Each structure stands twice: as C-alpha cells, then as structure tokens.
Amino acid sequence: MCTRVVWPDANGAVIVGRNMDFNIDLLTNLWKLPRGVERNDGVNGKLTWTAKYGSVIATAFDMVACDGMNEEGFAGHILWLAESHYGKPAEDDVQLSQALWLQYYLDNFKTVAEAVTWTEETQIQIAELMDPIRRTPPTLHLAINDATGDSAIIEYTDGRPKVYHSREYQVMTNSPTYDQQLELVKQYEGLGGNKPIGGSTLATDRFARAAYYVGRQKQPKTQLESMAAMLSIMRNVAQPFRIPDPGKPDASQTIWQTVLDLTNKRYAFESTTRPNTVWVDFNELDFSEGLPEMKLDLVGKMALEGGIAGNVGTQFKAVGPLMNKGLKLGLKFLQVASQKQDEFAVLMKEFQGMMKAS
C-alpha cells in the first residue's frame, strides 16, 4: 500500500508525489500547524518538544499525521511495511507514538541529514497504536525528503531503526524491506535488467514503474508542468478500486494523492473519491507562534458539485477546544489499547476457553 516518488532535478525544483493506498476511507483532512506548539511523545512524556517549524499535514481520522511538509521544504510520508517490527520498549526507553512519528520530524528538522543524525544517535523507539478497524497495530515505515533533493527511508524490522540515506533513493513502495526492493528493481528493463516492467498492483511492480518513469522526465518549463508530470506518474502507479484478490481480503486502492514542490513550497492534494484538486502555497500562510491549529475540512467540502478546488490557503478554520480534547482522548485510547494488547489476548483466550467448556 502506498507509493512515494522524488524528482530531485525538475528544472531547479524538488518535486515529490505520494499515493495513499488503503482499503477504507481515512476521512483525511488537511491541518495547518504553527510554530511554537508544545508536544510530547504520546506515550510516557519522556520526550517533549516545541515545534521549530510550521507545517501542513494530511491526517488519518484527524489523529495520525501520515503526510506533510514544513515551511523549510522538509517533507515526510508514512507508508505500510508488513515486515515492520518495533520491538517491546522498556518502561524507561524514550519512545514516540506512531501517530506523532512524522510530526516530530516536521516540527524539528530542516534537512534529511539532520533527521538521519538524530534518528541514528537516539535510536528512538516507536510505540504502536491500535488500528480500530483491524484491531491490530499498523506496520509502518517513514520516508523523508527535503528541498535539496536528499532522501531517506526509515524502517524498523528488529526493534531498531534501519536508515537508508541517499539522494538516489527516489522511489519507495512497500514490501519487501528497502534493501531487497533496491535489488529487485535491477531485474527490470531500463533499470539494469531485461525483465519487462509489470503492470500489476504489486509493490515491486509499482516500484519499478515509478523508478522507470521518474528517470525519464523531460525538464519542465513551469511549476504547473512539473507538478502535472509528477501527478501523471502517481496515477500510473495508483491502485484501482477492485474486488479483493484471492487470499488478499485487505487489498488496497488509491484513495488520495499528494504532489509537493519542496523548493517553491506548494502542497497539492487530490482525492479519488471527491474529485477536486486543492493546493496551498506556503508563502501565503502564516505559521507564527501563538496562532491556533487550523483544519481544512476536505471530507465535507470536497464535494463533486460546488465543492472547494484550487488554492484553498485561506479556508483553514480554527478548531475548538472541545474537538481538540476529543481527538486527544481518542488518540490516548488507541495508544492504551495497543500497549495492553497482550493482556487483551490472554483474556480473550480465557473467555473462549470458558465458552467451549460450557
């Protein structure tokens, strides 16, 4: 599920595309977050920080930051990786909730190099959330990129962060792990091998198609051309709505796409179910400390007829304290549910045993 592509030399601009593939609507909205917001890790409060940079993020259920860019042109993207294993952090370990993983990076870093150094030095532990739909923790990895064209992928497969850092790492999909993806893509025609590039929804085929097409772009004359070219690549690697494949009940489809200009600071969003394209230009946004956190209601306003479209930077609205409190409580519930999953499993097994005995 999901694809991220970086075009680091689009006539002087760094352009990034991202597909969000999921099997249900994530009720995604955009949020504008100012500098100066005080946050904690969402786990035990051992890690606290004050946001250095303002950002625009796309959320899942208004609780989890899954895509976004800050005012310095540093961006990040949460994708699915089935092989993820975050380990069991000790009580005194410094941890970071999955819900705030991306937000920490957007709040604190200007470049990929800074983020990689911090990740490798701290060996930060990622605390899982409970997915309320599947009733299991999501398995995620993180891609980061910046206005210099630098890129990194951060994966947890043995409880510790594995960082793949290079400007050459332009494409990221899902399974298998990134080192294996880099080897697999070499077998395809035009990428080092002679195997025809596949057109399926498999992560390996999407990786190959994205790598092939981003490496064959002509230089754009305008920002519109560069972002349109990236959107065409993302549409090529998108997953169609479909009946699940045999043995894959959770088959995903592309539910939205983003295209980011990290150099000129534009963030564009397109939904596959609410067919309008919207964007915000950061030079028109105010991220000053002391301003409220503001939300752009995409779920309600990206209607087929009469809905918002185009530049929507002036349409963010402040969120009331009651909603903020409710979102924090909801996030806390998912965190606690994840931490107690072992106890829950034991109780369920005991209960099922009692039912069979009766």
The 10 Å CB-count burial string (b at 16+, else e) for 39-67 is eebbbeeebeeebebbbbbbbbbbbbbbb
- Measured at the alpha carbon of residue 333, what is the angle toward residues 125 and 351, in degrees to the nearest 5? 100
Please provide the distance, in angstroms rounded to a whole number, between the alpha carbons at the two ends of the chain: 43
Token representation of residue 2: 């999901």
CA distance 341 to 234: 36
**168 burial level (CB within 10 Å; 0-12, 13-18, 19+):** exposed
User: Of 147, 178, 51, 59, which Cα lies nearest the Cα of 105?
Assistant: 51
Which position among 2, 10, 37, 255 bears the catalytic label?
A: 2
Mark out the alpha helices in the chain (DSSP H runs).
Answer: 98-108, 112-122, 178-184, 203-214, 223-236, 298-301, 321-339, 341-357
Name, in order, each residue with C-beta under 8 angstroms of 264's C-beta and a sequence gap of 6 or more.
Answer: 13, 223
User: Of 168, 169, 152, which Cα lies nearest the Cα of 112?
Assistant: 152
Looking at residue 334, what DSSP letter applies?
Answer: H
167 SS3 class: coil
CA distance 191 to 182: 10
What is the DSSP pairing of strand 3-10 with strand 13-22? antiparallel
- Is 161 within 8 Å of 119 (Cβ atoms)? yes
**Is 66 labeled as catalytic in the residue annotation?**
no
CA distance 290 to 96: 25
Catalytic residues: 2
